[in-house]
């Protein structure tokens, strides 16, 4: 929960517009309580039996993630993966390189 609280702090300080926090499912009630208490929009995706991904942050960012239509991050399109990385605050140039590599690899696979 210490890392989660740090993520909330980063959001409140305006350092991040969107946060992805992975936690044990047993932490979910406390996480949801804190997000509800502070009025922070969020989206929960269960991954496996014991863990959850919790996206929280600006309402527009949450809406974008909802519109991806999948809870399995490995199934995102290359474009969705790029958008998510940028929204999460990852290095833009590294995201560009990652996107171009994924597109190149996919195009080579297809022929």
Q: What is the pLDDT of residues 8-52, one digit of tens each?
A: 999 999 999 999 999 999 999 999 999 999 999 999 999 989 999
**Pair (3, 43) in one structural domain:** yes
69 Cβ neighbours under 8 A, 6+ residues apart: none
What is the pLDDT, as a whole number, of residue 41? 98
Domain hosting 29: range is 1-60
**Pair (1, 47) in one structural domain:** yes
Tally of domains in the chain: 2
**Pair (107, 53) in one structural domain:** no
**Pair (42, 17) in one structural domain:** yes
**Pair (54, 82) in one structural domain:** no
How much is the pTM?
0.88
Helix, strand, or coil (residue 1): coil
Q: Which residue has the tokens 């014991």?
A: 50
Mean pLDDT of the chain: 94
**Pair (55, 82) in one structural domain:** no
Residue 70 has pLDDT above 80, yes or no: no
């Amino acid at each position: 929960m210490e890392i989660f609280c740090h993520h909330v702090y980063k959001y409140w300080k305006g350092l991040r517009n969107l946060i992805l926090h992975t936690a044990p499912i047993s932490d979910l009630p406390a996480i949801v309580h804190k997000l509800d208490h502070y009025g922070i929009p969020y989206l929960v995706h269960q991954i496996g039996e014991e863990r959850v991904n919790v996206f929280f942050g600006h309402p527009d960012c949450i809406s974008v993630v909802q519109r991806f239509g999948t809870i399995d991050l490995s199934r995102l399109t290359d474009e969705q993966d790029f958008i998510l990385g940028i929204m999460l605050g990852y290095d833009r140039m590294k995201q560009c390189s990652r996107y171009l590599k994924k597109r190149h690899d996919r195009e080579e696979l297809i022929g």
